[in-house]
Structures are given as structure tokens and as C-alpha cells.
Amino acid sequence: MNADRIRIVLCRPSHPGNIGAAARAMKTMGLSDLRLVNPERPGAPDDRWMATNAVDVLAAAKTHAGLEEAIADCVAAFALSARAREWSLPVLDARAAAARAAAIGGPVAFVFGNEQAGLSNDEVLACQYLVNIPANPEFSSLNLAQAVQVMAYELFLTAERRAPEMRTEKPATVHDIEGLYGHLERAAVASGFFDPASGSKLRTRWRRLFARVPDLEREEVNILRGLLNALQDARRE
């Protein structure tokens, strides 16, 4: 697994020291693509103090206004959370998530939440997998940088064990899949099948459905959107 295609995304980090420590954790495991989504104190000196010899990773980090922007070009995103969710995506432990990432062609993101609140439900649903780091059930909350270190370690071990694989078809990106979700909603509303004001969980259900489809290809997404277009055209006629 090429480390260059692994992205670490920190959503709304509140402590700059954790950003620096996460950069250091990444560099020890050969990772360098760090993304920050709405950090509370951008550029505070604490991040450089904690980065030690990983200031280069910190300096190259890109800042984004929202999670969707940070993962748009990825083919899969893995949300890290210690909390179970009522409407959950497929749940993997850290080791299984690393193996799954290695089997996917193209860039993948591992998404971590705010130190106090973690990831919001919307942020989790923007991803395709939910990842849990097994820990003491009586005290399962890891520091943000520690969680990054554990996940980076599992990714490093998996990369060491796994031979590179070739994929001929272009994988669908998160941006492609979000476009499909938007198209599904427009078609469902236009047909009368879905009323956004009804409280229906249809949006969540189709996200869960497609999250269970491994290695979705861009051409497959295009086929589905072409079918939706044809059905909408036929209905208008």
C-alpha cells in the first residue's frame, strides 16, 4: 500500500498541540498527507512544539472549510469513533480497516473528530466505514493524537505485509458518490417517492446500502445516474 494515498483528516481540532502530535505520529509511520477541517486555533505555536521533527508534515497540511471538501477526491473515507451509532455504517476495527484500505485502489481518508465531541452524525455519514479502536470498555476514549498513532501503526503494518495490487477500472471518489446521492434525492422527490419534510430515514438508508458495496467504480456510478436520467426523462414525457 502506497503511503502517499493515505490521508489523515482532523475535524474541528480544538488543541493545536494535538495537531502537532498527530503530525509526529504520522511521520513515524511514513504518512504525510494531513488535512485540517475548521481548526479552532490555526497557526498557534503549540502545534510546532508538539510536532518535534515532523514540522514538514505540519507545514504541508491543508485546511478545508468542511469535511466533504477534504475528502472529495478520495475513493473511500473511514470515520474513527468510539461511540456506537443508531444508523451505523459498516463497522471495522482498526486492523480490519487498514486491510480494507489496502485493498482499495486510490486515495483513502481516515477521519478523526473533535477532542470533546468527536465526529458529528453528518460527518460519520459522509464516510463509507466506521472504525473502532478496541479499548477498555470502561474507559475507551483515546487522545486524538494517540488515536492517529494507533491507526497509522496499523496502516504501516498492513503496508509492510501486502504486495501492491493493480486495478484497471477507475474507482468512484467520494465526490462521485455524493453526486449520486444528490441525484437519487432529486429523482425521489420529483417522483413523489420521498418527501424531505416527512422525517424519513431514506437518505441514511441509501448511504448504508452503497457503503456495503466494496470498490464502487466511477463507471458504475455513471450507469446508475444515466438510468436515473432516463427514468426522469420518461416520466416527463
For residue 92, list its beta bridge partners. 131
Is the confidence at residue 28, as pLDDT, over 90?
yes
Please report the pLDDT score of residue 1 as a whole number.
61
Please report the pLDDT score of residue 165 as a whole number.
55
Q: Which of 3-12, 38-47, 160-169, 179-188 has the lowest mean pLDDT?
A: 160-169
Residue 62's nearest CA partner among 71, 53, 54 is: 71
The amino acid occupying position 207 is R
Q: How many angstroms separate the CA atoms of 186 and 195, rounded?
A: 10
Question: Average pLDDT of 1-9?
Answer: 87
Q: Could you give the percent of the chain with pLDDT greater than 70?
A: 93
For residue 35, list its beta bridge partners. 9, 62
Residue 3's nearest CA partner among 25, 33, 23, 28 is: 33
Instruction: Collapse the DSSP code of 121 into the 3-class scheme (helix H, G, I; strand E, B; otherwise coil) and give the result.
Output: helix
Q: Could you give the percent of the chain with pLDDT greater than 90?
A: 57
pLDDT band, residue 235 (cuts 50/70/90): confident
List domains and CATH numbers for the chain: 3-161 (3.40.1280.10), 174-236 (1.10.8.590)
Q: Which of 16-30, 55-69, 71-85 has the lowest mean pLDDT?
A: 71-85
Q: Which of 10-24, 99-113, 203-217 has the lowest mean pLDDT?
A: 203-217
Please report the pLDDT score of residue 51 as a whole number.
81
Q: Which of 8-22, 41-55, 128-142, 199-213 has the lowest mean pLDDT?
A: 41-55
24-28, 103-107, 207-211: which is most confident? 24-28
68-72, 80-84, 131-135: which is most confident? 68-72
Question: Average pLDDT of 40-67?
Answer: 85
Q: How many angstroms separate the CA atoms of 171 and 220, rounded?
A: 9
Q: Which of 50-59, 159-168, 199-208 has the lowest mean pLDDT?
A: 159-168
Going through 42-105 in order, the beta strands assigned E by DSSP cover: 62-64, 76-80, 91-93
pLDDT band, residue 166 (cuts 50/70/90): low
Predicted TM-score (pTM) of this structure: 0.77
Q: How many angstroms separate the CA atoms of 41 and 2, rounded?
A: 31
